[in-house]
Each structure stands twice: as C-alpha cells, then as structure tokens.
Amino acid sequence: MFSKASILSSLFAADNCYNGNTWNTTFCPDNVSCAANCALDGADYTSTYGVTAASSALTLKFVTQGTYSKNIGSRLYLMASDSKYYMFKLLNKEFTASIPEWRRQ
C-alpha cells in the first residue's frame, strides 16, 4: 500500500485516486483503468513531516503541525540498492550516518 508521504492523483482531474482507505471508483474501477488514470505524487516533506536537508545533514522533527493535520513521528529509509532498504531501529539514541559522496547521486 502507499505511505502517508504519497498521494495517488488522477492524471486528468484535480482529484485523488485513493482517499482514506478506499479507491475512487471513477478513476479506478479496475486495476488496468487505475494504472492508466493515476500517478503517484511526492509529498511536501518539510511542512508535512518535518524533514529538512541542509548541507550534509538530514533532520527529522518528531511532531510537525501541517496545514491539514498534525504528524507525530516520521520515517525515512536509506536505500542499500535499487530494491533493498537499509533500516535502522533506534531506542532513545541519536543517530548519525555518513554517506559517501558517490552514493548520493
């Protein structure tokens, strides 16, 4: 399923293809129609999730008051490869990671 950071939008109208926990049957009466009519949009990570990047730092806020809702907790994943994630589980500790310049592209 889709993360909260994504919006599945219609390619032809100013409307979402997926609202809450249901598909919009106007655009998605079946899988083929949904694939043809909808596209995945990105999110405004700073105002919605409190995620900012500056220089070599990535900062995540725990509580962010967005335009439409309050977001508590945020998650980001580092890619280990094109199809696998690095995942870190933290317990009350600060996390610092250095990513080589050649891996940032």
Structure confidence by residue, pLDDT tens digits, 5-54: 344 556 666 678 887 788 888 888 998 988 888 887 777 778 878 888 88
Look at the pTM and tell me if it is higher than 0.85: no
The confidence score (pLDDT) of residue 59 equals: 82
2 vs 58, which has greater pLDDT?
58
Computed over every residue of the chain, the mean pLDDT equals 75
The confidence score (pLDDT) of residue 101 equals: 62
43: tokens are 């999110």
Strands, E, within 1-105: which ranges? 7-10, 18-19, 22-23, 38-41, 51-54, 57-60, 63-65, 70-72, 78-79, 85-86
| C-beta of residue 44 within 8 angstroms of C-beta of residue 63 | no
The residues that bridge with 62 in the sheet, in sequence order, are none
Residue whose pair of structure tokens reads 């700073």 in the numeric block: 46
* pLDDT one-digit tens code per residue, 66-76: 777 788 877 77
Number of C-beta neighbours around residue 44 at 10 A = 11
The confidence score (pLDDT) of residue 20 equals: 75
